[in-house]
Amino acid sequence: MAPAAGKAQQWLQLYSENLANSYRASALIQHRVTKGETRERQILDLLEALLPKRTAVEPDVVIADSRDAESPKFDAALLDRLFWPRLFEQNDTAVVMIESVLAAIEIKSFLNAAEIQDVFRKTTLLRGMACAGKGAGPCPPLVCAFAYTCDNLALAFFDFACAYALAPASSATLICVLNEGLLCLCRQDGDSLVPVDVPAAGLIPAAAVLGPDALLMFVYTLSGWASLGGGSLDVYRAYGRHVFATATVVYFEDDYLSAVAGSATVRERARQAYLRPGSASLTELYKASRRSIGLP
Amino acid sequence: MPEAPLSFRPRSAEIRKSGTVVGLTDRIYDVGETEVVFDEVLIKGDLSGDLDYNGHTIRVVRVDTAVGLLVDGRGARGPVWKGVVCEVIH
């Protein structure tokens, strides 16, 4: 029997419900730009309220490097405001040094292949920018995304894993799907997988199906980035211990990931198995996908 | 499809109490649902009350042998507890 949720877990679950309700309420707005901005504000306001204040969650920042290149527009950035100056600010628009950015954040109403590609395209451009020196966090900065909905998490995981396998160093670190789970990068540690922040070759794309606790794990991860290596995460885990003690991830085996990364034809054939999941579990879909490309 | 526990820090042999290392196990142990038994723990501090072992809260309930100075093929060390039975709180 699952242990009763602690207060921190319950609060984050209630935040998740609120976000889901706000998302449904904003669906009534017909103006697409206004609707998108409303949804961005809902999650960004929550992150601003919950993350350590040493950093700021800011929308509409332009990330620039010392060679005068600018990043594509992200919905928000997690910035170190304590020690890093800005390059420019006027009204609500700021230009910031890439070294001061801990993470770029994308907000998606709906997660699908096109949106995952969009996140990875922007990540590639951001991670291709120059770092003039040691940054507040990893430089080039990390990229994460938050999605309100996803009607096929198995397919999204497949697309995320393929995107990572094709360009490991240009991968987003984390995608949170509200009330569903997290898509993340991990490394093997004995029988466990340990989440990894900085994308690199040799990692394992993984999916954590967390249901209403996805937001807690997302806030936890961003808190780690925002606390710049402080010890608060060890304490945070104690408050959400029921989630952290039981969380598991699923992942694809190496032979499968190599096969789908190595050929667009194989990748498309493997992808077909996830398109109409019905009531099949992720494991069943994965088995069917393996069979479809001739793997046992 | 492979499934694995998500670990939020590298597992270690450290037993901590309020963040301070108070014991070192002879290897890294998997923690069961209700109980974990360490073959050997090198004592570094106070092992009473709630302890943290790789994210699990445990409590020592029985020690088979307490040795002041243990000398064997792995060298001399101590104090050492052997056969340490711990209850898993969560």
Q: What is the pLDDT of residues A176-192, one digit of tens each?
A: 999 999 999 998 877 88
Nearest by CB: A189 against B2, B7, B57: B7
pTM: 0.79
Percentage, residues of chain B above pLDDT 70? 93
Q: A2-16, A40-54, A55-69, A251-265: which range is least confident on average?
A: A2-16
Residues 43-62 in A contacting B (C-alpha not used; CB under 8 Å): none
Tell me which residue has tokens 């996805």. A214
Position A261 in a domain: no
Position A247 in a domain: yes
Q: What is the pLDDT of residues B1-10, one digit of tens each?
A: 899 999 876 6
Is the CB of residue A250 less than 8 Å away from at least one CB of chain B?
yes
Residue A1 has pLDDT above 70, yes or no: no
Is the CB of residue A254 less than 8 Å away from at least one CB of chain B?
no
Q: How many domains does chain A have?
A: 1
Tell me which residue has tokens 């243990």. B70
In single-letter form, the type of residue at position B69 comes to: L
Q: How far apart are CA B14 and CA B24, in angstroms?
A: 5
Length of chain B (residues):
90
What pLDDT, on a 0 to 100 scale, did the predictor assign at position A222? 94
Is the CB of residue A191 less than 8 Å away from at least one CB of chain B?
yes
Is the CB of residue B27 less than 8 Å away from at least one CB of chain A?
no
Position A232 in a domain: yes
A contact test, residue of B7, B12, B25, B53 with most A CBs within 10 A = B7
**Residue A196 belongs to domain spanning:** 7-251
Position A111 in a domain: yes
Q: What is the pLDDT of residues A116-140, one digit of tens each?
A: 999 999 999 999 999 998 788 888 9
Q: Do A189 and B10 touch (CB under 8 A)?
A: yes
Highest-confidence range of A34-48, A170-184, A228-242, B42-56, by mean pLDDT?
A170-184
Q: Where are the beta strands (DSSP E) in B1-90?
A: 3-5, 14-17, 20-25, 35-43, 51-53, 56-67, 70-72, 75-77, 80-88
Contact call for residues A276 and A285 (beta carbons, < 8 A)? no
Please give, rounded to a whole number of angstroms, the shortest distance from the CA of A205 to a CA of chain B: 12
Is the CB of residue B32 less than 8 Å away from at least one CB of chain A?
no
Residue A60 has pLDDT above 70, yes or no: yes
What pLDDT, on a 0 to 100 scale, did the predictor assign at position A251? 97
Q: A4-18, A163-177, A191-205: which range is least confident on average?
A: A191-205
Contact call for residues A137 and A144 (beta carbons, < 8 A)? no
What pLDDT, on a 0 to 100 scale, did the predictor assign at position A200? 85
Q: How far apart are CA B55 and CA B61, in angstroms?
A: 19
Position A267 in a domain: no
User: Among candidates B72, B81, B74, which has minimal Cα distance to B42?
Assistant: B81
Q: What is the pLDDT of residues A205-240, one digit of tens each?
A: 999 999 999 999 999 999 988 876 556 787 888 898
Position A135 in a domain: yes
Q: How far apart are CA A54 and CA A228, in angstroms?
A: 9
Position A102 in a domain: yes
Position A86 in a domain: yes
